[in-house]
Amino acid sequence: STPRIIGLAMGLVVTVAALDELRQSFLATRTGSLGDVAINFTGGALGVALIVVLHSWLGIGATVREKDP
């Protein structure tokens, strides 16, 4: 379902962002920042929202059918 896919996508965005910031915290020339994780999350959310809107606008994806009585 769409909400599940969106949740998985955003979970992946947060996981990759957090791991990247953790990696950066071990480099002498870089620092890890929770603010950067938030920025990455915002970018991911905007990207997912754009995909959902475009799919809806273009009629791409599964259609919702009513259940038989």
Tell me the average pLDDT of the chain: 88
- H helix and E strand count, the chain: 2, 0
pLDDT at 9: 93
36, 21 contact by CB (below 8 A): yes
Structure tokens at 18: 């957090």
Q: CB–CB of 14/43 below 8 Å?
A: no
If you average pLDDT over residues 37-60, what whole number do you get? 92
Take residue 1 and report the two structure tokens written for it. 């379902």
Q: Judge whether residue 38 has pLDDT over 90.
A: yes
Question: For the purposes of burial, counting CB atoms within 10 Å of the CB of 37, is it exposed (0-12), middle (13-18) or buried (19 or more)?
Answer: buried
User: How would residue 46 be classed by pLDDT, with cut points 50, 70 and 90?
Assistant: very high
Query: What is the pTM (predicted TM-score) of this model?
Result: 0.75
pLDDT of residue 17: 94
Band of pLDDT at residue 67, cut at 50, 70 and 90:
low
